[in-house]
Amino acid sequence: MKITIQVMVPPYTYEDLDTALKIAEAAVEKGHEVNLFLFADSVLCINKNIKPLRIDRNIPNKIKEMISAGKIKVDICGICMDYRGITTDMIVDGAKPSGLPELAQLLATSDRFINLMA
C-alpha cells in the first residue's frame, strides 16, 4: 500500500515529525511504501544544519537515514521553503523540493493519506 503522511508544524516545537517518522517506520515494517510531504513550518526539519542538544534526537539525520535506507520518500513544499529561507543546498540528501502539483499527485495515487493538522 502507498501511504502519504503530511506534516505542517515545526520540528522540536511539536511532536509531529516524531509521530510521522514512527508511523512511517511501522508502516515500512509491514511492507508499505511511505511518502512524507512537508508543508508550512514543518519544512524546517529538512535543514541539515540543525544542531540539537546532544541528548536530543536529530530529526534531519533520522530523515536522511530513512531516505538512504529506501524507507521513505520526502517531498518538500517549495514555496514554504522560500518563505523560510531554506535553500536547496541546505536540505538533507535525497529529499526533494516540490510543491502542490506533487502533493496533488500523491493524494491522487496514494492508497492512504494521513494528515497531521497544524
Shortest CB 71 distance to other proteins, Å: 14
Question: Which spans of this chain sit near other proteins (rule: CB under 8 A)?
Answer: 1, 3, 6, 8, 14-16, 19, 22-23, 25-27, 29-30, 32, 39-40, 99-101, 103-105, 107-108, 111-118
Q: Would you say 68 and 94 are in contact if contact means Cβ atoms under 8 Å apart?
A: yes
- Of the candidates 99, 106, 101, 105, the one whose C-alpha atom is nearest the C-alpha of residue 76 is 99
- From the CB of 99, what's the least distance to other proteins, in Å? 7
Least distance in angstroms from the C-beta of 89 to other proteins: 26
**Which helix (H) or strand (E) covers residue 35, if one does?**
strand 33-38
